[in-house]
Amino acid sequence: MSHLAKDMTPDVKWQDITPGCNIFEGGTSAVVETGDWRTMKPVLDWDKCRQCLLCAPVCPDMSIPVGADGKRQDFNYFFCKGCGICANACPFGAITMVKDEK
Amino acid sequence: MGIRERLSGNEAVAFAMKQINPDVMGAFPITPSTEIPQYFSTYVDNGEVDTEFIAVESEHSAMSTCIGAEAAGCRAISATSSCGLCYMTEMLYVAASDRLPITLAVSCRALSGPININNDHSDAMGVRDAGWLMLFAETNQEAYDNYLQAMRIGEAVGLPIMICQDGFITSHAIENIELVEDEKVKAFVGEYKPRHYLLNKDEPMAVGAYATPVYYMEAKRQQAQAMIDAKDVIRRVGAEFGEMTGRTYGLIEKYMMDDAEEALLIIGSSAGTAKEAVNQLRTQGRKVGLIKIRSFRPFPAEEIAEALKNVKAFAAMDKDDSFNAHCGPIFAETAAALYAAGISAPKGINYIYGLGGRDVRVESIQHVFAELEKVAATGETGETYRYLDVRE
């Protein structure tokens, strides 16, 4: 029986879940999808984005990755909870919050 | 074969603790369990054990101490009573759901109010759904024997365990007792070797995780399975203990039940009084018997249904009240056990008795059997929710 966090998916059966939901490794927040808490999601208009990077540091999670080229990439929806702070911080109106459809 | 002694129930439990030499005790005093950490602190001070004795500021902290210690990989113990157990309640649930096999000695006492320090089962029954294994003792000997078996049972299924006895009645009364030799206790209880523990540097670990709705119910179902699995473990450990001492234990004890037509279900020290009542009535030719429930959690539903299936009438004796205008917990769970087994013939009544130290006499139990005789003869239970020995 696996004790790895990556195997504790929403499909895990009661026989296979770790006792007490205990966690047996570090850094497991990277493998846990918290994006499914979201009701609104940010959408980037690439034409309006000036790459000023005011959005990336205000993200409370790790949903606005910045590449080695110093430019922000698209949202990481695996972690984005749709808080909207990035949309509020954007001086160019490049980020719009839209209803998330599952 | 064994060591003859005379000990109070509290002293017997403290002595069992000394023989086991656990790693950590979270200790806070409350009547009538105070003597347990008190005796044990003497053993600590004398160097007879090397337990870390942590005197805390409340029962909530006592149980929190046990949770931290057990999660770290230690054997952790505590003792409490009454409102102390209530104050632990939040952490009792955490201990069970974190699957930490802590051992808690409970000297059962009434709850306020009116304020009362004497025995009934309101404290233990109040936390009966916290997910703990719960064994009850009739005598000092059983309190001692149950304690020696506790860790084997709890650690096998990954659940905490309460060893309950009746406050003052057994906790403070001195009885003859047969102790097990130290080396035999050590061999029987063994060392605690958890598969996973916080202080294992080779396996980083987190205990007490948050579970969203997609995980919570699977975690609880797994916890429920541990309680189901505990039934076999209790029987197995009780049988092994019997091989060592001659005193074998199961989930229930049946007394004069083979041909019984009227029966009591009872927990704790009053079972001894009830056995005397059964003996006296047997000399008069009455076919009476009793079932003593040793394990309340897990609840031995199948065993009780099997034992009751041929009786005409039974009385479930509850030493606490659920205040549901209906019945106490033993009656409720016994009735559910019979219904689930498809057994409807036995007529059942419920007595709330012995609250706040109200004396339970042989005559009290004889009165119950007299009522059962009427129920058996007429097939009519009348009011099923009754109070015993209350002035009216």
Chain centroid to CA B380: how far? 33
Distance to chain B for A50, nearest Cα, Å: 38
> Structurally, how many domains does chain B consist of?
2
Length of chain B counted residue by residue: 392
- Residue B392 forms part of a structural domain: no
Distance to chain A for B298, nearest Cα, Å: 19
Mean pLDDT (whole number) for A30-52: 92
Do residue B94 and residue B12 come from a single domain? yes
pLDDT exceeds 90 at position A25: no
Q: Which residues of chain B have pLDDT under 70?
A: 1
Do residue A44 and residue A82 come from a single domain? yes
Higher pLDDT, A24 or B262: B262
Query: Which of A17, A29, A31, A34 is best to mutate for the B interface (most B CBs within 10 A)?
Result: A17
B-facing residues of A in 14-33 (CB < 8 A) are: 14-15, 17, 19-26, 28
Question: Residue A34's pLDDT is what?
Answer: 86
Give Cα separations from B124 to B13, B16, B33 (angstroms).
17, 21, 13
Q: A32 falls in which pLDDT band (50, 70, 90)?
A: confident
Say how many C-beta atoms besides its own lie within 10 A of residue A21's C-beta. 22
- Assess A1–B contact: CB distance below 8 Å, yes or no: no
User: What CATH number is given to the structural domain containing B231?
Assistant: 3.40.50.970
Per the CB < 8 Å rule, is B209 touching A23?
Answer: yes
Question: Residue A5's pLDDT is what?
Answer: 84
Last residue of one domain, picked from the residues B211, B227, B245: B245
- Assess A12–B contact: CB distance below 8 Å, yes or no: yes
Do residue A38 and residue A73 come from a single domain? yes
pLDDT exceeds 90 at position A88: yes
Q: A26 falls in which pLDDT band (50, 70, 90)?
A: confident
Beta strand pairing status for A95-99 and A40-44?
Answer: antiparallel
CA-wise closest residue to B192 among B388, B23, B377: B23
For residue A23, the chain B residues in CB contact (below 8 A) are 205-206, 209
Say how many C-beta atoms besides its own lie within 10 A of residue A45's C-beta. 12
pLDDT 10s digits, B257-280: 999 999 999 999 999 999 999 999
Per the CB < 8 Å rule, is B97 touching A20?
Answer: yes
| Domain housing A7 | 1-32
Per the CB < 8 Å rule, is A17 touching B218?
Answer: yes
| Domain housing B375 | 252-387
Per the CB < 8 Å rule, is A21 touching B215?
Answer: yes
Do residue A72 and residue A28 come from a single domain? no
Average pLDDT, chain A: 93
Counted across chains A and B, CB pairs separated by less than 8 A come out at 51
Per the CB < 8 Å rule, is B98 touching A12?
Answer: no
pLDDT exceeds 70 at position A1: no
Helix, strand, coil proportions of chain A in percent (round to 5)?
20, 15, 65
